[in-house]
């Protein structure tokens, strides 16, 4: 049983390394139902030895402001406190299949946003799909496509 768990853990970690890399936003392929899509952007994803993925995102807003976000997740399907409780209290990240990461953010027990990262089978690009609800309760889906550098 111990060997089976170790094999399963090693396979999951190997799957995380598949996402590692630098990705450049292809703004002409953005499809945003809410908010203005960025003019430019990049993602750097690193697989960490303890089973976490770290993300460093940079982007230029539609009005030219430079922004960045750095965060990490543990894609094990367990609920963890969110770093920014104003947006969400907790988050759950799951490696849905070898090419798909899903992060659910919850506030007061309710799902407030969902982010899917879908890596292409040839691992040359990734699609980021963010969905949730606007302040007035309207559902939205924003899609951004990134090319691996």
Per-residue pLDDT band for 75 (boundaries 50, 70, 90) equals very high
Distance CA 77, CA 8 (A): 14
Name the pairing type of β-strands 21-25 and 31-32.
unpaired
Summarize the chain as % helix, strand, coil (round to 5): 15, 55, 30
Q: At residue 140, does pLDDT exceed 60?
A: yes
pLDDT tens profile 21-54: 999 999 999 999 999 999 999 999 999 988 999 9
Q: At residue 82, does pLDDT exceed 70?
A: yes
Distance CA 132, CA 97 (A): 22
Question: What is the residue extent of each domain of the chain?
Answer: 2-148
Under CATH, to which class is 2-148 assigned? Answer: mainly beta
């Amino acid at each position: 049983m111990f060997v089976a768990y170790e094999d399963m853990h090693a396979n999951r970690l190997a799957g995380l390394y598949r996402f590692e890399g630098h990705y450049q936003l292809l703004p002409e392929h953005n499809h945003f139902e809410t908010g203005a899509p960025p003019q430019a952007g990049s993602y750097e994803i690193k697989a960490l030895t303890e089973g976490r993925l770290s993300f460093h995102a940079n982007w230029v807003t539609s009005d030219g402001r430079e922004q960045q976000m750095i965060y990490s997740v543990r894609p094990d399907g367990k609920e963890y406190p969110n770093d920014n409780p104003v947006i969400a209290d907790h988050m759950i990240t799951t490696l849905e299949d070898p090419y798909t990461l899903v992060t659910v953010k919850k506030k007061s027990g309710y799902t407030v946003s969902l982010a899917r990262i879908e890596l292409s089978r040839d691992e040359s690009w990734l699609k980021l799909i963010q969905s949730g609800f606007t302040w007035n309760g309207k559902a939205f889906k924003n899609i951004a496509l990134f090319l691996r550098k």
